[in-house]
Amino acid sequence: MENKKGKVYIVGAGPGDPELISVKGLKALKKADCVLYDFLSSPALLKYVKTGAKKICVGKANGLHLKEQGDINELLYKYSQVYRYVVRLKGGDPFVFSRGFEEARYLAEKRVKCEVIPGITSAIAGPESFGIPLTIKNKIQSFAVLTGRKENPNAEIDAPDCRTLVYVMGVANIKNIVKALRKRGRPDKTPCAFIERATTRKARIVTATIKTIAREVVRQKVKPPAILIVGEVVKYAKK
Ligand SMILES: C[S@@+](CC[C@H](N)C(=O)[O-])C[C@H]1O[C@@H](n2cnc3c(N)ncnc32)[C@H](O)[C@@H]1O
User: Helix 69-80 crosses helix 100-109 at what angle (to 10 degrees)?
Assistant: 50
Pocket test for ligand 1, best of 168, 202, 204 (most atoms within 8 A of CB): 168
Could you tell me the pTM of the whole model? Answer: 0.94
| pLDDT above 90 as % of the chain | 87
Asked if the model's pLDDT at residue 149 lies above 80, the reply is yes
Q: How far apart are CA 194 and CA 224, in angstroms?
A: 10
User: What is the predicted pLDDT for the residue at 151?
Assistant: 78
Q: Is pLDDT at 12 greater than 70 in this prediction?
A: yes
1 carries an active-site annotation: no
pLDDT (0 to 100) of residue 4: 63
Q: Which secondary structure element, helix H or strand E, spans residue 69, and what is its range?
A: helix 69-80
Q: What are phi and psi of 89, to 5 degrees?
A: -95, 125
CATH number among 3.40.1010.10, 1.25.40.80, 3.40.1160.10, 3.40.50.720, domain 7-120: 3.40.1010.10
Superfamily, domain 123-236: Tetrapyrrole methylase, C-terminal domain (3.30.950.10)
- Residue 62: predicted pLDDT: 55
Ligand 1 center–CA 188 separation, angstroms: 26
Handedness of CA 74, 79, 82, 87 (dihedral sign): negative
Q: Is 188 one of the annotated active-site residues of the chain?
A: no
- The CA 85 to ligand 1 mean position distance, Å, reads 26
For the chain, give the mean pLDDT. 94
pLDDT digits (tens, 9 = 90+) for 164-193: 999 999 999 999 999 999 999 999 999 999
Per cent of the chain over pLDDT 70 is 95
Does ligand 1 lie within 6 Å of residue 87's CB atom?
no
